[in-house]
Structure 1
Amino acid sequence: MPIPDDIDEPWKLMVADSLLRSLNHLGNVAELLGLKHYMDIMWVFTFAEQAAVISDDKVKVTESMFHEVPVIVYEPMQKKTEELRRAIIYIHGGGWCLGSAKMGPYDLLSRRTAAELNAVVVSVEYRLAPEHHFPTPFNDAYHAVKHFLQEQVLAQYSVDATRIAVSGDSAGGNLAAAVAQQIQEDRDIKLDLKAQALLYPVLQALDMKTPSYQQNEFMPILPKIMMIRFWSEYFTSDKTLYYAMLENRHNSLKSIQLMKFANWSIYLPENYRQKYTYSDPYFDSKDLSESISDTRASPLLVDDDKLRVLPKAYIMTCEYDVLRDDGVMYVTRLRRAGVQVHHDHYVIPANTPPCSVEVPRIPAWNYGQWSFHPQPRWIPQGPLDGAAGKNKDYLPYTPEVCPSHMDKRNDVLLG
């Protein structure tokens, strides 16, 4: 597929895509020959990006276990005062199969956030598919967050209980959204999150023919076939589901009943629908995977009552991204439920600068450092006043469509 004309420095995207495609072909061949699992080959990028977990003169970095889940905690070295700090719990992306909190870009992101915002950052190292299918990655993320929200743990890290956010990119955005929802259901958790920051999140597994899946089917970095592979590996090692999802014939009678929450003809603004015509996905009486209809895997599928109690949200979407419509539909549904949302839409592919920390490092390509920098600023200095964001630190939403070259930050949300 040709690179879109409005992409800055397209050669960088082409180089990254060539590397990914080469590894993809190698993974397919290795799996076909019975030598290695496809994801074992794709793991090369994660392994190559591993960074040393060490402190520096600005940030204290320690590895810990939160409810038997490995985490990396970043604490600013600023002079201690009586004032409590804000905190961000970050969940990395990688299609539930790849990625690590120890990757260089994620490590850099966490260090900068901790140092510049005087915030405690907890980066979660959850278990991955295909070794650990759903719900294990979700459970790991949830248990880590629940552990951190304990009064004694917050006191240990000098964290203000009213200024805690959960965030993640891509599959990490999926986990962050699901965690934010499930916290509201857990009576053992007495605290409310201040905010959720979801960066090009993947939010539903029902419809693989949304306009963005069709428009960006062959888009570099994350084509449709790769995203479907991630989804299927997250749920099961049975390839039957993978091939059914490729044809959008994977729904059961149970899952199709939830399409009312992910119907893009209802929740997508007209400019995102473009030339595409909606049709109900095919469904069968056979259930290929019960996980498809589980809201912990597809946060977009919860009903409005569960949306109304969620914290305010920052959602980033990218035009040339198969996941674009998942994020846009969630923006629509959250707003209709009364949740305050700030939505930034970038006219670039996801997983590319300034929207990525998942692709391999390329000289002079400062991905990750910028795009994730705005979202922690959702945690203002003042206390939370209501789960729906009724606090004076928040300014009303102004729609933003950001060209790829715009160095835009969400300072408006600081108050």
Structure 2
Amino acid sequence: MKSNRKILLLLGAITAYYVYLPIPEEIEEKWKLMITDSFFRSLSHLADLSERLGLKDYMGVMMFITFAERVVPATDERVRVTEEVFDGVDVVVYEPGQQGGGRELKRAVIYMHGGGWCLGSSRMEPYDLLARTMVSELNAVVISVEYRLAPAHPFPAPFEDVYRGVRFFLQGHVLARYAVDPGRIAVSGDSAGGNLAAAVAQQLLQEPDQQVALKAQALLYPVLQVLDLNTPSYQQNQAMPILPKTLMVRFWSEYFTSDKTLFRAMMTNSHNSPESAVLFKFVNWSSHLPESYRRAYRYSAPRPDSGGGGAGSPSSSPPFRAIADPRASPLLASDGSLSTLPKAYILTCEFDVLRDDGVMYAMRLRGAGVNVTHRHYSAGFHGALMFTVWPTDFQIAHRMTEDYVSWLRDNL
């Protein structure tokens, strides 16, 4: 009996040590977050081991999250759901049911799911519920885009899928089919989906034949730049759930290539080429971040690759060159190209490595004359908006959803 008790105590101690994280006091429901994060960390460790043993690649194992939360979007009395193909891109279309006002023209939200470009699906339960909420609360049509995922389909494939899908939807005859008002359309997304939404909004302005313009963009804790992975929020939150720095860097590197050379360079912030140095001004957080976010951190420009960018240098390879592409890093767009963008809602969380990306984009957009609503959650953590389903439902997630939908109601 004593031996059994010792074993149980040891197992309890190991479990407590593994689950416990020094989470800031400001975060609500800390123990729920610790337990939730312990699942993600366990799966990440398993994925690492699997890749090291040559059994299955890291992202292949992490896709379990996507499969575990997958649902079959179905029509109910309030929402009609159909699965369509827009110019070769799978989408899930949510429309108001018969009680939604018939054929009167409606708002539309084109939504891009998160997951670091490597994971996730519009058919996951949290995204399905969010789409239904928008349909019901806004009497809107919601288009959830099911883009191809890296590393099997690296950049620019996910962006190109989303862009093709959006362009297809914005055609006059397609909008008429869904009874959508051409003057009340928004793009939106969370995390990597926010990246894609911002990039699409910028790219549409480059099309001279684009007749339908977006009215709004809503970016939820978006990832917007890869030039500097040592911003204050990356330093402050490098070990925070649900998105530690190592995982975000892995997402970034695998978005471009499965070559681990890029991952190692990104971890030391030495992945830029000398040619990209002219773009550092767009991510210079000493000028684009308010002092309250900079705090005691000291700015130093990212260190360019020592290879010099010449032939044979890592920085001369396509994945390294893609780092400077605004379609991958929307924060790198010039001031002039930002000025004609639609009004924006940008949600950021204090305890998120991506916090400063969103804050800097809000600052740059405002400086360019764009109407910006920046909603910062001082107790927020990355991915919070998606935790609305028991047992991982968080009060802050419901507040975020209410604020986001309220903004769309007032601005779309």
Q: How many residues align?
A: 381
Give the alignment partner of residue 129 of structure 1, picking from 142, 150, 166.
150
Residues 99 and 358, structure 1, Cα contact 8 Å, conserved in 2:
no
2:211 to 181, 190, 195: 190
Shift of 1:351: 3.2
The equivalent residue for 2:13 is none
Residue of structure 2 equivalent to 1:113: 134
Quick one: which of 337, 346, 358 aligns to 1:327?
358
Is 1:374 matched up with 2:378? no
Please say if residues 262 and 301 of structure 1, whose CA atoms lie closer than 8 Å, have aligned partners that are also in contact: yes
Residues 1:266 and 2:298 aligned together: no
List runs of 5+ in structure 2 lacking aligned partners.
1-20, 310-314
1:136-215 pair list within 5 angstroms = 136-215=157-236
Gap change, CA 1:143 and 1:2, over 3 Å in 2:
same
Structure 1 residues 80-122: Cα deviation after superposition (integer angstroms, max 9, x where no partner): 3453100000000000000000000000010111122110000
Shift of 1:318: 0.3
Amino acid corresponding to residue 292 of structure 1 in structure 2? I
Distance 1:358 1:145 in 2: 27
| SS in structure 2 of the partner of residue 205 of structure 1 | coil
The answer as to whether partners of 2:241 and 2:382 remain within 8 angstroms in 1 is: no
- CA 271–307 in structure 1, closer or farther in 2 if over 3 Å, else same: same
- Describe the superposition over 1:169-196 as per-residue Cα deviations: whole angstroms up to 9, x where unpaired: 0000000000000000012311110000
Q: Supply the distance in 1 between the matched residues of 2:262 and 2:138 (Cα, whole angstroms).
A: 44
Q: Which amino acid aligns with 2:200?
A: V
Aligned residue type for 1:279: S
Tell me whether 1:72 sits opposite 2:92 in the alignment: yes
SS class of match (2:154): coil
In 1: Cα distance, 2:183 partner to 2:366 partner: 22
- Residue 101, structure 1, aligned to residue 122, structure 2: yes
Query: How far apart, in 1, do the equivalents of 2:338 and 2:28 lie?
Result: 37
The alpha-carbon distance between structure 1 residues 180 and 200, as it changes in their structure 2 partners (threshold 3 A), is: same
CA distance in structure 1 between the aligned counterparts of 2:399 and 2:178, rounded to whole angstroms: 26
Deviation, 1:79, is 4.7
* Identical-residue share of aligned pairs (%): 57
1:362 deviates by 2.3
Who is 1:291 aligned against?
322
Per the alignment, in what secondary structure is the counterpart of residue 374 of structure 2?
A: strand
Distance 1:35 1:367 in 2: 38
**Residues 79/304 of structure 1: CA separation in 2 closer, same or farther (3 Å cut):** closer
- Matches of 2:102 and 2:69, distance apart in 1: 35
In structure 1, which of residues 219, 242, 258 is the aligned counterpart of residue 240 of structure 2? 219
* Matched residue SS, 1:257: helix
Greater helix content = 2
The answer to whether the aligner puts 1:252 opposite 2:273 as a matched pair is yes
Using the TM superposition, give the Cα deviation of residue 30 of structure 1 relative to its aligned residue in structure 2, in angstroms.
Answer: 0.2
2:89 matches 1:89: no
SS at the partner of 1:372? Answer: helix
Secondary structure, aligned partner of 1:189: coil
Q: Is the aligned partner of 1:14 residue 2:45?
A: no
Shift in CA distance, 369/111, structure 1 to aligned 2, threshold 3 Å: farther
Alignment match, 2:337: 306
Whole-angstrom CA distance in 1 between matches of 2:143 and 2:260:
35
**Partner-residue secondary structure (3-state), 1:35:** coil
What is the deviation of 1:363?
5.0
Counterpart for residue 258 of structure 2? 237
8 Å Cα contact 1:109-1:373 kept in structure 2? no
- Using the TM superposition, give the Cα deviation of residue 3 of structure 1 relative to its aligned residue in structure 2, in angstroms: 0.3
Structure 1 letter corresponding to 2:341:
L
Matching residue of 1:338: 369
TM-score (norm 1): 0.89
**Which stretches of structure 1, 4 residues or longer, exceed 2 Å deviation after superposition?**
78-83, 348-352, 358-380
* Amino acid of the structure 2 residue aligned with 1:118: N
Alignment check: 8 A CA contact 1:174 1:201 kept: yes
Rate the CA distance shift 1:374–1:359 in 2: closer, same or farther, 3 A. closer
Give the counterpart of 2:297 among 276, 280, 289. Answer: 276
Moved more, 13-22 or 287-296: 287-296
Distance of 1:332 and 1:30 partners within structure 2:
42
Alpha carbons 1:16, 1:359 under 8 Å: kept: no
* Structure 1 residue ranges without an equivalent (≥5): 381-412
CA distance in 2, matches of 1:181, 1:305: 11
Q: Is it true that 1:3 corresponds to 2:26 in the alignment?
A: no
Q: Deviation at 1:377?
A: 4.3
> Hey, what's the Cα distance between the residues in 1 that align with 2:346 and 2:87?
28
Report the CA distance between 1:221 and its aligned residue: 1.0
* Correspondence for 2:391: 362
Conserved 8 A contact 1:108-1:369: no
Q: Against the structure 1 CA distance between its residues 339 and 174, is the aligned structure 2 distance closer, same or farther, given a 3 Å change threshold? A: same
Deviations 1:268-301 (A, max 9, x none): 0000001100011110323151110000000000
Cα gap change, 1:245 to 1:92, in 2 (>3 Å) = same
Aligned to 1:36: 56
Instruction: Indicate the RMSD between aligned Cα atoms, in angstroms.
Output: 1.7
Q: Match of 2:401, SS?
A: coil
* Counterparts of 2:386 and 2:277, CA distance in 1: 34
